[in-house]
Chains A and B, each alone.
Chain A
């Protein structure tokens, strides 16, 4: 694939990543693929050696709070410093010192619930953080969106919820098997657009005469209400999961349980560690906290696995999550979601029949790539939101359009777009438009673009 970033002549960013755990590695990997100059900092020499062997980056071994280490990593000239060690306090300090040394932007991972309340704004302001990221909270939001719409395997939202892209898996005997997209659009009256189709390992941005087949994974853009209607017409509508069992009392589980119980749902958390259980039951008075080993099938059945609407595995072990999720599917639980951070395990779990896998690490990498691309061209129509769809083979991006005689005020059918690019939605004055060839983009619109095999940094990049 080479290096599309530099070939386009945009700036390469100097980026320091402090902490090379699971999240750090995935950030390094995405940013190195984007063609940036990445320096990875970690205290463990073995980790640094491993990561420099695999990616074309530089490694510095040392404490990310230490002045010498940060200077050696080039903090003085860095465009961005991302601190994602396991400790919130280290991340904050590292960003603070990095900023003092001259890093232009700093992003810290802050995941402790005690910091993620009102004090977050204070911390961000005092430390001059450009952004604080909380992967657990992001994962919980993603899970919550899926639980609201259980027939989807992934839900991505744009423009504060004005648009959603949901990914659906067509069953072999689906009513849509063998249906052309143009026919589908005539049959169902709702406003929607099939924007991506994954078949086997290939991803298509389909046109009207594309024929769907059972086993395809499709991405739909529409407004949330239209999606509900469409799913009902298709006969796939499932009620929102009202009775959810969470396996593992991780931070993600805490945030998710909080969101679910605010919505009035029944939540049960199964956790091994008594101390964690005590904390959770204190923090979440509405949730049922069960102390016990969730890897025991007996226990799960006793706690009502068969009658649950949804089962979400959130322990720290990918393997345990996947295996227990597979067990739950054999017990006919309607919606089963597994958290898997390691990409290769997530792919294998998909082959084993788990359709919905959530990866916090993927989510956080998306957020960073979006941030960096927005940094790269702060002048043009920069990226507002970015999601990877279809296992990272396609991207959905949201741009705010600026006046540009090549794009704005021209009917879409007259734009000469690159292949495998689609304008999937326009938001104008809070109104969501599913565009047809006659629609135009006006300056100030939020434009949602789908792209397979391109890296877009600016709305103008969609043109040939």
Chain B
């Protein structure tokens, strides 16, 4: 275990966070929110201090790292990012003077970084600086901080692919171009360009610039933090369509955009995952349109509401234009199932990822066929390429672990939750946080506000669930298992 190298990269990440915190500081200064600005300044100070201490500890590091160091680096970086990113919330508090507890602040930051969008705060009571930081964490967490670090600094060694693989979602992570730094740069450039386009389109639709920026951050990271408790419901149909389309766009594998950029669009459109993704959107929206048609005024409205909600749940964003809780059971059920699927691999979306679902489905078919014809040999194909058994068993193991963690989370929540929280609410809260969606299904009241009613242990549990979901379980599990750290076994 190369501890010094882990310290070095983690230290760089924390220093980068200090730099990123300067942006909300500037917003707070521009909005003349002096106390909030001081809160950000304090956070930057803490981040600089921690980063420098880590860098000092890393002096003389030898640069050889393996998969294990990659996982641990990613896990520790994300935990530290959340812990430090929570400081401004806790120091500044709400605009009406009510303080924000550190646990609430941590929940909010982890929710932001993991692109969940579940909130325990009321957006109307937050200063502009904090609102900006909250949405900005979505944007940072969407593509990943370590990928950002790789885009900025030259690679320390040829082996940084281990770090990238640990942070990027999806069963198979490859590079777009030979050098990892160029790959990271391309990913971020596409990400920035698409975010900028959305900001322009939203602002053109009459949304105030500040709101456009924040909502674009929320869409880009497939997060879901907004400016109002009512999310997107009060905006014009044009804006709702723009956000719906961009949610879908950010749920597509970014490699495909690169393919289109280098004029290999035909290959990009051959991606089976992409067609599967579009088919799900069409079918799910179709059923919901038919299902909710009697409750709305026009067909157009039904289409808009259902497409928006389907995109929001499938890409694990979590914006809302209507209270889906009030919809018929069939629609609610479909939305609930969409929460598990998530977007495409290599996108900013959370959840299981469609490529995993497709691979699982094919392995199931193969098992059945092999039961019928025990001697048949049958390769599993994905995106036109045969998959080796290692990837297959990796996907199956991931699915098993995913189910297990959901069960444990739900049972733990049931044990801890206050009165009035029934199984459906607890289960959907666990599903929502673990899959990085945000809103959960509840019988009473506003779905966005339900997390605030949980106590401190439940909030911490859900915070962990959000990070587990974003990093796809393994990094955190590995980083916090004692055998990783024991010198005897390493």
B96 in the interface, Cβ–Cβ < 8 Å? Answer: no
> Which residues of chain A have C-beta atoms less than 8 A from B177's C-beta?
37, 58
Among the listed B155, B161, B181, B388, which residue makes an inter-chain contact with A53, where contact means beta carbons less than 8 Å apart? B161
Whether A56 pairs with B178 at a CB distance below 8 angstroms is yes
Question: How far, in whole Å, are A45 and B154 apart by their CA atoms in the complex?
Answer: 28
Whether B388 pairs with A56 at a CB distance below 8 angstroms is no
B365 in the interface, Cβ–Cβ < 8 Å? Answer: no
In the complex, how many angstroms separate the beta carbon of B38 from the nearest chain A beta carbon?
Answer: 39
Provided the pairs A32-B158, A53-B162 are in contact, do residues A58 and B388 lie with their beta carbons within 8 angstroms? no
Contact size class for B? Answer: 10 to 19
Question: How far, in whole Å, are A37 and B179 apart by their CA atoms in the complex?
Answer: 6
Residues of A25-65 contacting chain B, CB below 8 A:
32, 37-39, 45, 52-58
A58: nearest chain-B partner, CB-CB: B178
> Which residues of chain B have C-beta atoms less than 8 A from A2's C-beta?
154
In the complex, how many angstroms separate the beta carbon of A140 from the nearest chain B beta carbon?
Answer: 32
Provided the pairs A2-B154, A3-B154, A45-B388 are in contact, do residues A39 and B159 lie with their beta carbons within 8 angstroms? no
> Which residues of chain A have C-beta atoms less than 8 A from B363's C-beta?
none
Residues of A49-100 contacting chain B, CB below 8 A:
52-58
Residues of B172-189 contacting chain A, CB below 8 A:
174-175, 177-182
Whether B158 pairs with A57 at a CB distance below 8 angstroms is yes
Among the listed A3, A37, A45, which residue makes an inter-chain contact with B178, where contact means beta carbons less than 8 Å apart? A37
B160 in the interface, Cβ–Cβ < 8 Å? Answer: yes
A12: nearest chain-B partner, CB-CB: B179
> Which residues of chain A have C-beta atoms less than 8 A from B180's C-beta?
56
Whether B158 pairs with A55 at a CB distance below 8 angstroms is yes
Question: How far, in whole Å, are A45 and B174 apart by their CA atoms in the complex?
Answer: 13
Question: How far, in whole Å, are A141 and B332 apart by their CA atoms in the complex?
Answer: 77
B267: nearest chain-A partner, CB-CB: A72
Provided the pairs A45-B388, A52-B161 are in contact, do residues A57 and B154 lie with their beta carbons within 8 angstroms? no
Contact with A along B136-180 (1 / 0, CB 8 A): 000000000000000000110111111000000000001101111
Contact size class for A? Answer: 10 to 19
Whether B178 pairs with A38 at a CB distance below 8 angstroms is yes
A60: nearest chain-B partner, CB-CB: B174
> Which residues of chain A have C-beta atoms less than 8 A from B160's C-beta?
56
Question: How far, in whole Å, are A178 and B162 apart by their CA atoms in the complex?
Answer: 49
Provided the pairs A3-B154, A45-B388 are in contact, do residues A39 and B161 lie with their beta carbons within 8 angstroms? no
Whether A56 pairs with B162 at a CB distance below 8 angstroms is no
Among the listed B178, B182, B388, which residue makes an inter-chain contact with A39, where contact means beta carbons less than 8 Å apart? B178
Whether A54 pairs with B388 at a CB distance below 8 angstroms is no
> Which residues of chain A have C-beta atoms less than 8 A from B161's C-beta?
52-53, 56
B162: nearest chain-A partner, CB-CB: A53
Among the listed A37, A39, A45, A56, which residue makes an inter-chain contact with B158, where contact means beta carbons less than 8 Å apart? A56
In the complex, how many angstroms separate the beta carbon of B231 from the nearest chain A beta carbon?
Answer: 41
Question: How far, in whole Å, are A50 and B341 apart by their CA atoms in the complex?
Answer: 31
> Which residues of chain A have C-beta atoms less than 8 A from B174's C-beta?
58
> Which residues of chain A have C-beta atoms less than 8 A from B67's C-beta?
53
> Which residues of chain B have C-beta atoms less than 8 A from A58's C-beta?
174-175, 177-178
A46: nearest chain-B partner, CB-CB: B388
Provided the pairs A2-B154, A3-B154, A45-B388 are in contact, do residues A54 and B159 lie with their beta carbons within 8 angstroms? yes
Question: How far, in whole Å, are A58 and B158 apart by their CA atoms in the complex?
Answer: 11
B67: nearest chain-A partner, CB-CB: A53
Interface centre among B159, B161, B179, B182 (most CB of A within 10 A): B179
In the complex, how many angstroms separate the beta carbon of A10 from the nearest chain B beta carbon?
Answer: 15
Question: How far, in whole Å, are A2 and B156 apart by their CA atoms in the complex?
Answer: 7
> Which residues of chain B have C-beta atoms less than 8 A from A3's C-beta?
154
> Which residues of chain B have C-beta atoms less than 8 A from A45's C-beta?
388
Residues of A1-18 contacting chain B, CB below 8 A:
2-3, 14
Residues of B250-308 contacting chain A, CB below 8 A:
none
Question: How far, in whole Å, are A45 and B386 apart by their CA atoms in the complex?
Answer: 11
Question: How far, in whole Å, are A38 and B160 apart by their CA atoms in the complex?
Answer: 16
In the complex, how many angstroms separate the beta carbon of A223 from the nearest chain B beta carbon?
Answer: 41
B156: nearest chain-A partner, CB-CB: A2
B176: nearest chain-A partner, CB-CB: A58
Question: How far, in whole Å, are A58 and B157 apart by their CA atoms in the complex?
Answer: 14
Question: How far, in whole Å, are A39 and B178 apart by their CA atoms in the complex?
Answer: 6
Whether A54 pairs with B158 at a CB distance below 8 angstroms is yes
In the complex, how many angstroms separate the beta carbon of A119 from the nearest chain B beta carbon?
Answer: 35
> Which residues of chain B have C-beta atoms less than 8 A from A14's C-beta?
178
Residues of B98-131 contacting chain A, CB below 8 A:
none
A52: nearest chain-B partner, CB-CB: B161
Provided the pairs A2-B154, A3-B154, A45-B388 are in contact, do residues A57 and B159 lie with their beta carbons within 8 angstroms? no
> Which residues of chain B have C-beta atoms less than 8 A from A56's C-beta?
155, 157-161, 178-181
In the complex, how many angstroms separate the beta carbon of B377 from the nearest chain A beta carbon?
Answer: 17
> Which residues of chain A have C-beta atoms less than 8 A from B158's C-beta?
32, 54-57
Interface centre among B160, B175, B177, B178 (most CB of A within 10 A): B178
> Which residues of chain B have C-beta atoms less than 8 A from A52's C-beta?
161, 175
Whether A57 pairs with B388 at a CB distance below 8 angstroms is no
Whether A53 pairs with B159 at a CB distance below 8 angstroms is yes
In the complex, how many angstroms separate the beta carbon of B221 from the nearest chain A beta carbon?
Answer: 27
Question: How far, in whole Å, are A38 and B175 apart by their CA atoms in the complex?
Answer: 12
A73: nearest chain-B partner, CB-CB: B178
In the complex, how many angstroms separate the beta carbon of B463 from the nearest chain A beta carbon?
Answer: 32
In the complex, how many angstroms separate the beta carbon of A72 from the nearest chain B beta carbon?
Answer: 9
In the complex, how many angstroms separate the beta carbon of B304 from the nearest chain A beta carbon?
Answer: 41
Question: How far, in whole Å, are A157 and B328 apart by their CA atoms in the complex?
Answer: 85
Interface centre among A2, A14, A56 (most CB of B within 10 A): A56
Those 4 A-B pairs whose CB atoms lie nearest each other, nearest first: A56-B158, A37-B178, A55-B158, A58-B178
Q: A2-B154, A58-B174, A58-B175 are in contact. List 4 more A-B contacts (CB 8 A).
A: A39-B178, A52-B175, A53-B67, A57-B178
Instruction: Please list the residues of chain B having a beta carbon within 8 angstroms of any beta carbon in chain A.
Output: 67, 154-155, 157-162, 174-175, 177-182, 388
A sample of 9 cross-chain residue pairs with beta-carbon separation below 8 angstroms, ordered by A number, consists of: A14-B178, A52-B161, A53-B161, A54-B158, A56-B161, A56-B178, A58-B174, A58-B177, A58-B178
